[in-house]
Amino acid sequence: MRLYDFAGAPNPRRVRIFLAEKGIVVPVELVDLRARAQHEPGYVARNPSATVPMLELDDGTCIAESVAICRYFEALQPEPRLMGTDARDQALVEMWQRRMEIDGFMAAGEAFRNATPGFKDRALAGTAKVAQIAALAERGRERLDRFFKFLDKVLSGRDFVAGSRYTIVDITALVTVDFAGWSKLKPGPELGNLAAWYERVASRPSAKA
């Protein structure tokens, strides 16, 4: 088994934190995104989305997409449960996860990739040329502002985004807040619940993964 990884990108960090919380160690191979190693034909043949992370199993199966990789390890080693316990809890984790991704993580991606010179013609991940759209960068910034306020409201009276337990949703939300920081967007200090939660999750040893 081998995890294709890169330190300076938000998606691979989601998987690293997840593995750290489970105490799972996987051999790693670095894919240098700065050198566009994810676009090399050998890599694209195994992951046509040309994204990192990717998990290669010993039988050659390649699992791309951060949450798919997490789901593999959740099934392989359920404890500690990071993707929900019973049917109801698993569904709620999935719901909160998607809210974090759609309203937060994707908004951070819109803001960053449509405004950063190094991503000219690469406004979306993948091998196709995709032009930046200035209005989309701005839309991403506005969405993140709303997202921070929403998250602060959600965190009123609960310790973690999906409830009383730390889950994959907190990982996605933490990585989203840090990713938004790349576009110089940070939750204001008036969002006290969000600030307290951030301190709570960012101070876990896994956050350094």
Among 75, 117, 190, 205, binds its own copies (CB under 8 A): 75
Which 8-state DSSP code applies to residue 52?
S
Question: Which residues are 130's β-sheet partners?
Answer: 122
Closer to its own copies by CB, 72 or 182: give it. 72
- Contacts with its own copies in 98-117 (CB under 8 A)? 98-99, 103
Q: Quote the least distance from Cβ 126 to its own copies, whole Å.
A: 8
- Identify which range of 34-42, 58-66, 177-185, 190-198 contacts its own copies by CB under 8 A: 58-66
Nearest CA-CA partner of 61 in 70, 72, 75, 49? 72
Backbone angles phi and psi of 69, in degrees to 5: -65, -45
Contact predicate 140/114, CB 8 Å: yes
Backbone angles phi and psi of 164, in degrees to 5: -90, -10
Q: Which residue has the tokens 């619940």?
A: 193
User: How many CA within 13 A on the CB side of residue 22?
Assistant: 24
- Identify which range of 5-13, 54-62, 189-197, 198-206 contacts its own copies by CB under 8 A: 54-62
| Footprint on this chain of its own copies (rule: CB under 8 A) | 48-49, 55, 57, 61, 63-65, 67-69, 71-72, 75-76, 86-88, 90-92, 94-95, 98-99, 103, 124, 126, 128, 130-131, 133, 135-136, 139, 143, 146, 150
